[in-house]
Structure 1
């Protein structure tokens, strides 16, 4: 499902603005956009002729870089680090959502199977129905087995 910008009807990642239009939308000089591109702060898409094409998301990012610089007094190296960390947080949040969904599916499957594991008569792990015990068998000493014995003192 594509997400569109409510005001323009464009997809946020649609690379449609030439540098002069993006600069005007962001309230900056085109040379500033070129500098930000060289520093890796905002990297627009490129045409086959290597011309820059900015997306609505790029313009929002340019405005944020300007805000951090002018209002917060953060230098360009600091802004670059902030943007990298924000991207990392976004990626990690996405991964947490994926893992949470996966865990939910695994948990649901376990609830459907309702399997329980126990120690079997020979000490092996066996699957049993909830509320049931492993089947009993007779031990080598003629006694019923099936109970889990962790340690038994030697007979004298």
Structure 2
């Protein structure tokens, strides 16, 4: 199993946490995690046997959901906020890649 640079933790995208562990680590109940999944707020990986498995990235997303919920935002609103945050992240990554490509073209010697 691949591990992070710290040597003992799984990679952030590696789904290794069972639903009970994810619930405990995120401070919400198992039923709440299932509710979040029903609303499309979180999509855990499924094992070959159908068991939900959560990653460190999922736990970070759960922390964001819990924080937004704590601010009184309903699940539909949380879903919209998360969608916009995900889109914003994708745009930033695309912009960074395009900027790097532009810079490499500018430094390339003329033929």
> TM-score, normalized by length of structure 1?
0.65
Partner residue in 1 for 2:101: 102
Offset at residue 7 of structure 1 (A) = 9.6
Partner residue in 2 for 1:140: none
The aligned length equals: 110
Question: Does residue 74 of structure 2 align to residue 75 of structure 1?
Answer: yes
**Structure with higher RCO (Cα < 8 A, 6+ apart):** 2
Partner residue in 1 for 2:60: 60
Deviations along 1:33-90, one digit per CA (max 9) or x if unpaired, are 01111111011100112110001111121121111111x1111111001111111011
For 2:60 and 2:104, the matched residues in 1 are separated by: 37
For 1:6 and 1:13, the matched residues in 2 are separated by: 15
Unaligned runs of 5+ in 2: none
Unaligned runs of 5+ in 1: 116-156
> TM-score, normalized by length of structure 2?
0.89
For 2:6 and 2:73, the matched residues in 1 are separated by: 31
Q: Which of the pair has more CA radius of gyration?
A: 1
For 2:8 and 2:50, the matched residues in 1 are separated by: 25
Checking the alignment, whether the CA contact within 8 Å between 2:23 and 2:33 is kept in structure 1 is yes
